[in-house]
Amino acid sequence: MSHSAQSGSWDGPWYRVRTEHFEAAFLPNADEDLESVDNVDVFVDLRDGSRWSATVITLAKVEAIMARRAESGEALGGRYFWCSDGLIVRDVGMSSMTEVLVGLVENDEFAQVVHRLDD
């Protein structure tokens, strides 16, 4: 996988990252350490002008949510997890999540994994 991800910058509540393949606009919590992010919405504009979205969440965060729901009784007692446009990743942090998105583009898997937004 290429390491074409570049550092990002803040644009209001959005943290924007530009790569050779796309611009990604992440929406982390304002006080969150960017390299500890484990659950974040992202909108991606590919170079061809198409727009995409995903909720990127770590496997550990999914496990924590399911454990919490097991105790609260939600989601059939924590027996399942789902989220719209979900992309489960192993590692926390914006740079790691960006690398996954870059890898999906470079491996021609992006359109199968990330949700395309209507024009």
The length of the chain, given as a count of residues? 119
- The confidence score (pLDDT) of residue 2 equals 47
pTM of the model: 0.90
- The confidence score (pLDDT) of residue 56 equals 98
C-alpha torsion 84→87→92→97, nearest 10: -120
- The confidence score (pLDDT) of residue 30 equals 86
Pairwise CA distance, residues 62 & 65, whole Å: 5
- The confidence score (pLDDT) of residue 6 equals 60
Q: What end-to-end distance do the CA atoms of the chain give, in Å?
A: 30
Decide: helix, strand or coil at residue 103: helix
Q: Tens-of-pLDDT digits for all 119 residues of the chain? A: 444 446 799 999 999 999 999 999 999 998 899 999 999 999 999 999 999 999 999 999 999 999 999 999 999 999 999 998 999 999 999 999 999 999 999 999 999 999 999 86
Taking a C-beta distance cutoff of 8 angstroms, is the pair 94, 35 a contact? Answer: yes
**Side-chain-facing half-sphere of 17: CA atoms under 13 Å:** 24
Any idea where the domains of the chain sit in the sequence?
Answer: 9-55+85-116
Alpha carbon 95 to its chain centroid, in Å, reads 11
- The confidence score (pLDDT) of residue 7 equals 78
